[in-house]
Every structure is written in structure tokens, then in C-alpha cells.
Amino acid sequence: MKGYDKVCPLCGTLNKNLNLEETEGWMECEHCKEKVGFLDYMKMVKVPVYTPEMLTRMAKHPAFAGRKTISAIEG
Ligand SMILES: [Zn+2]
């Protein structure tokens, strides 16, 4: 079995020996338990799919939160 080492983009934990080909590019981070998809390994799914948890996490990200605040002020 060929394993991949991938760093979780959400928490930075290195997840080792992942079988990305079998999961079509998805892994579940061993640290934050978030499901992360890697486009390089997605052959079936062209459009990235975000779980509600991921969207919530993205919305809380300072970059997104800041943008939201700015647009709210402008609007
Ligand atoms: Zn993680």
C-alpha cells in the first residue's frame, strides 16, 4: 500500500501514511478530526465539497471574518 504524508491545512498536523487513492483524495485529520480533501488526488469529484463544519470553520477565519465585517460596514 502506498501511503501519502499530508499536512492538515486546518490545524497543521502531519497525517502520515494516508491512502488517498482509495478515499479519492479525502482524509480525516488525526488531530482535529476534520475531513480534508486534496484536489491533486480527486479523480472522480471535480468540485470540492465542503462539510458544514468546514464552512463554519472558514467563516470563523480572521480573513473571512474581517471581509464580512468590512462589507457589513460598507453596506
Ligand atoms: Zn487537522
pTM over 0.75: no
Residue 13 gets which letter from DSSP?
Answer: P
Q: How confident is the model at residue 13 (pLDDT cuts 50, 70, 90)?
A: very high
The domain tally of the chain equals 1
Task: Give the angle 66-10-25 at the CA atoms, nearest 5°.
Answer: 125
Determine the distance separating the centroid of ligand 1 and the alpha carbon of 67, expressed in angstroms. 24
15: containing domain = 4-74
Q: Which tens digit of pLDDT belongs to each residue from 18-40?
A: 999 888 899 999 999 999 998 88
Determine the distance separating the centroid of ligand 1 and the alpha carbon of 9, expressed in angstroms. 7
- Judged against a pLDDT cut of 90, whether residue 68 lies above it is answered with no
